[in-house]
């Protein structure tokens, strides 16, 4: 532990301290518990029969041969499921004309994407369940496949939902000012059509669930590696028609989530139902191949973006039209991420006239859901690309365009009239720091020297904001989101003076248990190692409206912990006040004591105060309730905006099209940093995913709706070898509406990198005809850029 800066003594490990993560010893020694480690006696294992067709009617399912196999207990089909389960709810119903596309936990009557569950087989072992799954005979009548946006929007397109007039799930336009007039009067306009490929969170630990439907109590105990245990609990209750209190959701260690485990899925419903039907615990572990077709996809969009500007580079209007390539069924977040992309395009810029639209189309692909960054990476890609285009048109440096259009700190809070109210940040300062760090790290000089030697080295910069700390519950409710955005926290001191934090947040490798302990330590001024954080049990832990996602765990969950700790502290001081016969206002907690201010050492130990509060009530005032526990619910009043700037250095090999990322500067303003090392780690991981998203990761479908990338030989994640050392720079502009000033850092790393890498490749190729319009950009595409004449 290093120094702190909030007035408490060194060694506490409070806000601002580098504290080693509590979760690491178990993780690095291989002793952490993950979902596949959960198994009680008599557990049955599920294997799924998944559709080999992208679009087909299910004419019949014959499971008799499977059921004949010794050790097979049940085979569930969609026809049977609908007798026991309601449709899967869609949490986000925020588009005015959003249609309903009833989605069940498995296919009912029709499959709409390859890999959709057609039958679930419960057997004594997973291998046996897979053997039996092969014996389930499904009679499919293939239907025409909707492969792409163009397919989906064609007038004569086959329709995924026959009752609809087309394949549009929802469409909405948002505006401010008069974009038409601004474009008509503009001195300069530029426009681009951009596309972003299909990618997904791809945690190293796939999804899994173990359900036990207790026969006599009629309660469901569900272990699941979900980022959102409370949401899962409510969904299971709703779908299966049991009270919420009849479902206990428990979360073991999570081997990465990246948003894909914030969505809820059909598999957990099937585990619960099959447990009820078989009377056994039922376990499902998604295998690697399944994960590519069964875990929510994300990112894929077509973006038409245009700006109008003066010759001086002042942007007067922005148009952005986004079409999201949804899948064959609707995920739990509807078209939320696509919508967020559209309304977030203006980013950190002051643009008076806006016309932004979003459309979600169904295609025969895996459903589209959450992935770290949500809408922001595509919005940033769109805005930063069009700024580069404008810079070329005007012949000025793109950073100069950025500077002329940034919302300035003195203009905040700044509402862009569509969605964002930029609350705080020093955007130009972040850009300055990024350029300065690139220069200090020697990258500009390196580029000049490399170019002189005939090498193609480029530098690209992208500025960003991202809405974080989701979110104000009443705003969310008005948007049509069926979850609150608040967090509850409970903090207890036991009778020995040790403190336990109970939270609805989850630990998935991001160090959240350590971060929350630091906030508690900071408030109580006690060493962080005296604090235990309990999470992942809906029977024991408080409620969280939204779970761990949306860069909210610290900015919302952390505030709740801090406030609950404040309440606990008041109780501690009240007891000590009675013991010491000193006014509460004259007491402080320091050095493990509740002591009189100005009289160090004169006081009672925390252990003594705690003992009294639980076990020696003669020491406690008559009007004081025994026990020491604080509870708080924090509901933010507004979203906050993390922001910053990325600067990426690449080298392009013109003879192969290979792109090597040489340097990567990430300037980030996440508000107050709780643990700078964890902040760095979050940024590093996000930046690695940005590299994957820009250069490697691509879920490729063929015309028949078959996913071609279902192994790690084809879906390429960046490895340590593709990731350069990161150079992080921190700016701390406290969030004005968040007590403590945190904005959130979970997603930031993913946001500006793709746009910066695109700009860096343009810069490296250095040809006016070359402009990166699609990510991920393949070596072959880069090769074509470099060898256009050939």
Partner 1 sequence: MKAAAFRYHRATSLDDALAVMADDDEEVRALAGGQSLVPLMAMRLSRPEVLVDLNGVDALAGVALDGGHLRIGAMTRQRDVERSPLVAEHLPLLRTAIGHIGHVTIRHRGTIGGSVAHADPAAELPAAVVALGAEMVLASTGGTRVVPAEEFFDSYLVTAVEPGELLVEVRFPLGAVPARHGMAEFTRRAGDFAVAGAIVLADVAADLTVRRARVVPMAVDPAPRRSARAEELLVGRALDDGVIREVAAAVAAGCGPVDDIHGSAAYRRDLVAEMTRRALARLRQGAGE
Say if residues 299 and 199 touch (Cβ distance below 8 Å). Answer: yes
As given in the structure block, the two tokens for residue 164 are 């609809």
Q: Is 552 exposed, middle or buried (0-12, 13-18, 19+ CB in 10 A)?
A: buried
CA-to-CA distance for 40 and 44, rounded, in angstroms? 10
* Strand spans (E) along 504-597: 531-534, 587-590, 593-596
Q: CB neighbours (10 Å) of residue 671?
A: 30
In the complex, minimum distance from the CB of residue 48 to partner 1, in angstroms, rounded to a whole number: 12
In the complex, minimum distance from the CB of residue 285 to partner 1, in angstroms, rounded to a whole number: 10
96 or 780: CB nearest partner 1:
780
Candidate residues 279, 709, 736, 773; the one interacting with partner 1 per rule CB under 8 A: 709
Q: Does 597 bind partner 1 (CB under 8 A)?
A: no
Candidate residues 698, 747, 762, 763; the one interacting with partner 1 per rule CB under 8 A: 698
Q: Does 204 bind partner 1 (CB under 8 A)?
A: no
What does DSSP assign to residue 341?
A: H
Measure Cα distances from 494 to 140, 561, 573 in Å.
61, 17, 15
627 or 656: CB nearest partner 1:
656
Of the candidate spans 165-173, 487-495, 667-675, 704-712, the one that interacts with partner 1 by CB under 8 A turns out to be 704-712
Candidate residues 79, 540, 708, 788; the one interacting with partner 1 per rule CB under 8 A: 708
244 or 708: CB nearest partner 1:
708
Q: Does 28 bind partner 1 (CB under 8 A)?
A: no
Q: Does 195 bind partner 1 (CB under 8 A)?
A: no
286 or 747: CB nearest partner 1:
286
Longest dimension (CA), the chain: 91
CA-to-CA distance for 241 and 276, rounded, in angstroms? 13
In the complex, minimum distance from the CB of residue 125 to partner 1, in angstroms, rounded to a whole number: 8
359 or 710: CB nearest partner 1:
710
Q: Does 36 bind partner 1 (CB under 8 A)?
A: no
417 or 779: CB nearest partner 1:
779
Q: Does 713 bind partner 1 (CB under 8 A)?
A: yes
In the complex, minimum distance from the CB of residue 101 to partner 1, in angstroms, rounded to a whole number: 30
268 or 698: CB nearest partner 1:
698
Candidate residues 14, 718, 740, 746; the one interacting with partner 1 per rule CB under 8 A: 718
Q: Judged by CB under 8 A, how many residues of this single chain contact partner 1?
A: 30
90 or 688: CB nearest partner 1:
688
Say how far residue 439 (Cα) sits from the centre of its chain. Answer: 32
Of the candidate spans 130-138, 219-227, 399-407, 483-491, the one that interacts with partner 1 by CB under 8 A turns out to be 130-138
Of the candidate spans 193-201, 286-294, 318-326, 501-509, the one that interacts with partner 1 by CB under 8 A turns out to be 286-294
Say if residues 277 and 74 touch (Cβ distance below 8 Å). Answer: yes
Candidate residues 2, 191, 245, 719; the one interacting with partner 1 per rule CB under 8 A: 719
Of the candidate spans 160-168, 282-290, 463-471, 484-492, the one that interacts with partner 1 by CB under 8 A turns out to be 282-290
Candidate residues 189, 289, 624, 677; the one interacting with partner 1 per rule CB under 8 A: 289
Say if residues 44 and 50 touch (Cβ distance below 8 Å). Answer: no
Of the candidate spans 53-61, 84-92, 303-311, 711-719, the one that interacts with partner 1 by CB under 8 A turns out to be 711-719
Q: Does 288 bind partner 1 (CB under 8 A)?
A: yes
Place of tokens 């952005």: 320
CA-to-CA distance for 383 and 307, rounded, in angstroms? 9
In the complex, minimum distance from the CB of residue 656 to partner 1, in angstroms, rounded to a whole number: 5
Say if residues 511 and 484 touch (Cβ distance below 8 Å). Answer: no
CA-to-CA distance for 367 and 372, rounded, in angstroms? 16
Q: Does 130 bind partner 1 (CB under 8 A)?
A: yes
Say if residues 340 and 479 touch (Cβ distance below 8 Å). Answer: no
In the complex, minimum distance from the CB of residue 780 to partner 1, in angstroms, rounded to a whole number: 4
As given in the structure block, the two tokens for residue 682 are 């979050």
CA-to-CA distance for 98 and 28, rounded, in angstroms? 46
In the complex, minimum distance from the CB of residue 129 to partner 1, in angstroms, rounded to a whole number: 8
421 or 709: CB nearest partner 1:
709
Of the candidate spans 124-132, 367-375, 387-395, 402-410, the one that interacts with partner 1 by CB under 8 A turns out to be 124-132
What does DSSP assign to residue 62?
A: E
As given in the structure block, the two tokens for residue 217 are 């109590």
CA-to-CA distance for 369 and 332, rounded, in angstroms? 7
In the complex, minimum distance from the CB of residue 765 to partner 1, in angstroms, rounded to a whole number: 17
What does DSSP assign to residue 365?
A: S
Place of tokens 């099209």: 657
Q: What are phi and psi of 554, to 5 degrees?
A: -80, -45
**Pairing state between β 168-176 and 282-285:** unpaired
In the complex, minimum distance from the CB of residue 269 to partner 1, in angstroms, rounded to a whole number: 23
Candidate residues 36, 57, 124, 131; the one interacting with partner 1 per rule CB under 8 A: 131
As given in the structure block, the two tokens for residue 691 are 């590299």
373 or 657: CB nearest partner 1:
657
As given in the structure block, the two tokens for residue 617 are 């009530």
Q: Does 104 bind partner 1 (CB under 8 A)?
A: no
In the complex, minimum distance from the CB of residue 635 to partner 1, in angstroms, rounded to a whole number: 44
Q: Does 65 bind partner 1 (CB under 8 A)?
A: no
Q: Does 593 bind partner 1 (CB under 8 A)?
A: no
In the complex, minimum distance from the CB of residue 518 to partner 1, in angstroms, rounded to a whole number: 36
Task: Pick out residues in 636-665 that bind partner 1 (CB under 8 A).
Answer: 655-658
Q: Does 127 bind partner 1 (CB under 8 A)?
A: yes
Task: Pick out residues in 678-697 that bind partner 1 (CB under 8 A).
Answer: 696
470 or 765: CB nearest partner 1:
765
Name beta bridge partners: 665: 647, 727
In the complex, minimum distance from the CB of residue 198 to partner 1, in angstroms, rounded to a whole number: 13
Task: Pick out residues in 730-789 that bind partner 1 (CB under 8 A).
Answer: 778-780, 783, 787
CA-to-CA distance for 520 and 503, rounded, in angstroms? 12
635 contact partners, CB below 8 Å, separation of at least 6: 472, 473, 474, 484, 485, 486, 545
453 or 655: CB nearest partner 1:
655
CA dihedral 631, 635, 636, 642 (to 10 degrees): 80
* Strand spans (E) along 469-617: 487-493, 499-503, 531-534, 587-590, 593-596, 603-605
CA-to-CA distance for 785 and 774, rounded, in angstroms? 12
Closest listed residue to residue 343, CA positions, set 212, 515, 490, 175: 175
In the complex, minimum distance from the CB of residue 126 to partner 1, in angstroms, rounded to a whole number: 5
Q: CB neighbours (10 Å) of residue 390?
A: 22
In the complex, minimum distance from the CB of residue 294 to partner 1, in angstroms, rounded to a whole number: 13
Q: Which residues bind partner 1 (CB under 8 A)?
A: 126-127, 130-131, 134, 287-289, 655-658, 696, 698, 700, 708-709, 711, 713-714, 716, 718-719, 721-722, 778-780, 783, 787
């Amino acid at each position: 532990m290093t120094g702190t800066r909030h007035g408490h003594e060194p060694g506490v490990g409070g806000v601002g301290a580098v504290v080693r993560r509590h979760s690491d010893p178990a993780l690095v020694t291989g002793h952490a518990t993950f979902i596949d480690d959960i198994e009680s006696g008599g557990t049955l294992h599920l294997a799924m029969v998944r559709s080999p067709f992208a679009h087909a009617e299910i004419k019949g399912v014959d499971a008799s041969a499977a059921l004949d196999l010794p050790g097979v207990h049940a085979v569930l089909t969609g026809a049977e499921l609908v007798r026991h389960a309601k449709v899967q709810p869609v949490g986000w119903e925020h588009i005015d004309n959003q249609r309903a596309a009833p989605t069940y936990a498995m296919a009912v009557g029709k499959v709409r994407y390859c890999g959709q569950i057609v039958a679930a087989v419960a057997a004594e072992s997973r291998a046996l369940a897979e053997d039996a799954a092969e014996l389930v005979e499904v009679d499919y009548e293939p239907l025409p496949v909707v492969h792409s946006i163009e397919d989906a929007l064609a007038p004569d397109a086959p329709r995924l939902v026959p009752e609809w007039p087309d394949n549009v799930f929802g469409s909405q336009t948002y505006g401010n000012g008069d974009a038409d007039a601004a474009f008509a009067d503009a001195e300069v306009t530029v426009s681009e059509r951009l596309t972003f490929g299909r990618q997904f969170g791809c945690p190293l630990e796939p999804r899994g669930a173990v359900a036990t439907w207790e026969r006599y109590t009629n309660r469901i105990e569900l272990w699941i590696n979900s980022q959102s245990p409370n949401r899962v609990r409510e969904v299971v209750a709703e779908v299966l028609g049991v009270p919420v209190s009849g479902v206990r959701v428990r979360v073991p260690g999570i081997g990465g989530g990246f948003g894909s485990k914030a969505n809820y899925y059909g598999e957990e419903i099937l585990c619960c139902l099959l447990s009820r039907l078989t009377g056994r615990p039922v376990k499902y572990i998604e295998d690697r191949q399944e994960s590519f077709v069964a875990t929510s996809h994300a990112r894929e969009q077509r973006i038409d973006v245009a700006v109008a500007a003066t010759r001086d580079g002042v942007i007067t209007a922005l148009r952005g039209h986004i079409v999201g390539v949804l899948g064959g069924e609707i995920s739990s977040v509807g078209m939320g991420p696509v919508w967020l992309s559209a309304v977030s395009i203006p980013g950190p810029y002051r643009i008076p006239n806006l016309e932004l639209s979003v459309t979600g189309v169904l295609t025969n692909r895996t459903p589209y859901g959450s992935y770290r960054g949500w809408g922001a990476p595509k919005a940033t890609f769109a805005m930063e690309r069009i700024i580069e285009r404008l810079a070329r048109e005007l012949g000025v440096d793109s950073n100069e365009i950025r500077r002329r259009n940034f919302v300035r700190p003195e203009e905040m809070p700044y509402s862009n009239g569509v969605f964002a109210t930029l609350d705080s940040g020093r955007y130009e300062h972040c850009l300055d720091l990024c350029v300065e760090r690139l220069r200090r790290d020697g990258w500009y000089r390196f580029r000049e020297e490399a170019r002189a030697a005939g090498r193609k080295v480029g530098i690209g910069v992208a500025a960003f904001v991202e809405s974080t700390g989701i979110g104000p519950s009443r705003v969310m409710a008005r948007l049509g989101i069926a979850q609150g955005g608040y967090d509850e926290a409970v903090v207890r001191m036991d009778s020995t003076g040790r403190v336990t934090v109970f939270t609805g947040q989850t630990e998935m490798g991001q160090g959240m248990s350590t971060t929350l302990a630091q906030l508690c330590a900071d408030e109580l001024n006690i060493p962080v190692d005296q604090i235990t954080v309990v999470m992942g049990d809906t029977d024991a832990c408080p409620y969280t409206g939204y779970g761990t996602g949306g860069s909210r765990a610290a900015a919302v969950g952390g505030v709740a912990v801090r406030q609950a700790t404040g309440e606990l502290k008041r109780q501690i001081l009240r007891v000590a006040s009675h013991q010491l016969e000193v006014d509460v206002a004259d007491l402080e907690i320091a050095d493990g004591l509740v002591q009189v201010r100005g009289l160090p050492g004169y006081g009672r130990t925390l252990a003594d105060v705690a003992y009294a509060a639980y076990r020696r009530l003669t020491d406690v005032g008559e009007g004081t309730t025994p026990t020491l526990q604080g509870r708080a619910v924090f509901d933010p009043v507004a979203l906050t905006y993390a922001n910053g700037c990325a600067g990426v250095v690449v080298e392009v090999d013109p003879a192969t099209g290979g792109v090597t990322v040489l340097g990567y500067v990430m300037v980030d303003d996440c508000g107050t940093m709780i643990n700078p090392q964890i902040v760095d780690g979050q940024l590093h991981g996000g930046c690695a995913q940005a590299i994957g998203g820009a250069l490697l990761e691509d879920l490729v479908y063929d015309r028949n709706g078959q996913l071609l990338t279902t192994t790690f030989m084809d879906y390429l994640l960046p490895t340590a070898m593709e990731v350069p050392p990161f150079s992080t720079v921190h700016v701390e502009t406290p969030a004005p509406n968040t007590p403590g000033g945190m904005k959130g850092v979970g997603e930031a790393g993913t946001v500006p990198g793709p746009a910066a890498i695109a700009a860096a490749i343009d810069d490296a190729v250095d040809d006016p005809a070359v402009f990166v319009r699609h990510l991920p950009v393949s070596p072959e595409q880069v090769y074509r850029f470099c060898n256009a004449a050939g």
